[in-house]
């Protein structure tokens, strides 16, 4: 449900983009045999068709691979999302929810003009984009967003005890491993890496030797690899850097793939448990989102209980593979 705002401003951002002003040739679209007006379901006595379900899900459908057109789980998902959307929109209308945002209102007003409608067609690469339909879609989504804010956020509280319980129950999540700042000299040529090692023994700076001898792309940065974490999944050769003393370099090390490395450690960062104060804000946000999701599930269940939903036909996404192709410029 939190995707509504994202979709809103994707639409809005299109209006300012600059593209070619050459519109595609207006082709007559024949979709009479695609059954897109086939009744699929009723919600509280109102009938909805394949076209209704497609229009709501068209962005998703455009991204679906043709091999998925007969996937029943995908079809069920698309119908379920449509029902969820209609239930929320019907409830927003019943409660007379009004959403106002100055930036959004300005964008919608621009869409109502002839230039705005033209820019929309150019911005979406679709000669058939209907600005009136788009305005209606955006208004509907904004009303649902306002409804969701009211339902999910009113009187939403998170106690100190809840924060502490989550912290103690997920302590591994807040444990940071040891880190070291590492540079290296790398080569597949043993003689070359031996020359580099001799240069280090003479007292030349590690970064300078790395620039001259390392075959790794990071040689331009003196072989700097940044900070690496100690990990049970890392190879022995990389974990060996944790045995080095600060500002010292390793012997020539041969990896399992036969490559050669010399490592240098310039900084240590000790790991350990992060303090509650440090991670408290992220814990609060996680608990908040979890509570919102729980509230949403309960709220949708209540809407489903009150609504009379009847499935009267099967939604056929394959119709829209033809429909989408016929609508392309």
Q: What is the CATH number of the domain that holds 151?
A: 1.10.4030
Quick one: 229 and 93 in the same domain?
no
Looking at the domain assignment, is residue 170 inside a domain?
no
73 vs 104, more confident: 73
- State the pLDDT at residue 170: 93
Same domain, 241 and 153: no
What is the sign, positive or negative, of the torsion defined by CA atoms of 124, 125, 131, 134?
Answer: negative
Would residue 30 count as lying in a domain? yes
Longest Cα–Cα distance in the chain: 88
114's tokens: 């002839």
- Between CA 95 and CA 9 the distance in angstroms is 25
In a domain, 47, yes or no: yes
Do residues 19 and 151 both lie within one domain?
yes
Asked whether the beta carbons of 134 and 58 are under 8 A apart, the reply is no
Domain range enclosing 218? 178-270
Contacts of 313 (CB under 8 A, 6+ apart): 38, 39, 40, 41
- The secondary element (H helix, E strand) that includes residue 229 is strand 224-229
Q: Does residue 11 lie in a domain region?
A: yes
Write out the two tokens for 49: 């068709």
Q: Structure pTM? A: 0.58
Tell which wins on pLDDT, 18 or 257. Answer: 257
Do 123 and 200 share a domain, yes or no? no
| DSSP β-bridge partners for residue 176 | 272
- Count of structural domains, the chain: 2
16 and 146 share one domain: yes
Q: Is residue 306 part of a domain?
A: yes
Q: Are 179 and 207 in contact (CB under 8 A)?
A: no
Q: Are residues 249 and 116 located together in one domain of the fold? A: no
Query: pLDDT-derived band of residue 289, with 50, 70 and 90 as boundaries?
Result: very high
Q: Are residues 70 and 103 in the same domain?
A: yes
What local confidence, expressed as pLDDT, does residue 140 receive?
Answer: 85
Give the confidence band of 154 by pLDDT, cuts at 50, 70, 90.
Answer: confident
Report if residue 26 sits inside a domain: yes
In a shared domain, residues 28 and 126:
yes
Nearest to 143 by CA among 262, 8, 261: 8
For residues 144 and 252, membership in a common domain is answered with: no
The pLDDT assigned to 216 comes to 94
pLDDT tens digits for range 297-306: 999 999 999 9
Q: Are residues 76 and 215 in the same domain?
A: no
Does 172 reside within a domain? Answer: no
Q: Is residue 275 part of a domain?
A: no
Q: What is the pLDDT of residue 228?
A: 87
Nearest to 259 by CA among 287, 291, 235: 235
pLDDT range class, residue 139, cuts 50, 70, 90: confident
CB 255 within 8 A of CB 186: no
What's 185's domain CATH number? 3.10.50.40
Do both 129 and 216 map to the same domain?
no
Per residue in 107-132, pLDDT tens? 666 766 766 666 656 555 555 556 66
249, 117: one domain: no
Give dist(CA 88, CA 303) in Å, integer. 8
Closest CA to 53 of 314, 326, 304, 308: 314
């Amino acid at each position: 449900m939190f995707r509504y705002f994202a979709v809103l401003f994707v639409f809005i951002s299109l209006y300012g983009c600059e593209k070619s002003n050459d519109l595609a040739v207006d082709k007559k679209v024949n979709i009479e045999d695609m059954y897109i007006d086939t009744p699929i379901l009723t919600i509280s006595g109102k009938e909805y068709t394949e076209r209704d379900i497609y229009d709501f899900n068209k962005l998703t459908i455009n991204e679906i691979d043709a091999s998925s057109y007969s996937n029943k789980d995908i079809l069920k998902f698309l119908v379920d999302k449509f029902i969820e959307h209609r239930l929320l929109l019907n409830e927003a209308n019943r409660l007379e929810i009004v959403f106002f945002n100055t930036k959004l209102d300005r964008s919608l007003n621009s869409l109502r003009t002839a230039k705005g409608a033209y820019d929309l067609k150019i911005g979406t690469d679709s000669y058939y984009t209907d600005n009136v339909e788009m305005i209606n879609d955006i208004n509907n989504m904004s009303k649902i967003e306002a409804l969701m804010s009211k339902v999910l956020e009113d009187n939403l509280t998170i106690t100190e005890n809840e924060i502490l319980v989550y912290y103690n129950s997920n302590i591994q999540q807040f444990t940071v491993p040891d880190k070291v700042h590492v540079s290296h000299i790398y080569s597949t040529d043993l003689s070359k890496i031996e020359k580099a090692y001799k240069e280090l023994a003479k007292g030349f700076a590690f970064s300078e030797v790395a620039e001259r001898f390392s075959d790794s792309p990071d040689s331009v940065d003196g072989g700097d690899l940044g900070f690496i974490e100690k990990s049970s999944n890392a190879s022995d050769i990389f974990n060996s850097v944790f045995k080095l003393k600060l500002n010292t370099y390793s012997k020539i090390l041969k990896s399992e793939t036969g490559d050669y490395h010399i490592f240098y450690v310039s900084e240590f960062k000790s790991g350990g448990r992060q303090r509650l104060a440090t991670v408290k804000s992220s814990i609060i946000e996680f608990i908040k989102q979890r509570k919102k999701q729980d509230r949403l599930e309960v709220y949708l269940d209540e809407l489903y209980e009150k609504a009379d939903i009847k499935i009267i036909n099967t939604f056929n996404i394959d119709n829209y593979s033809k429909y989408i192709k016929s609508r392309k410029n």
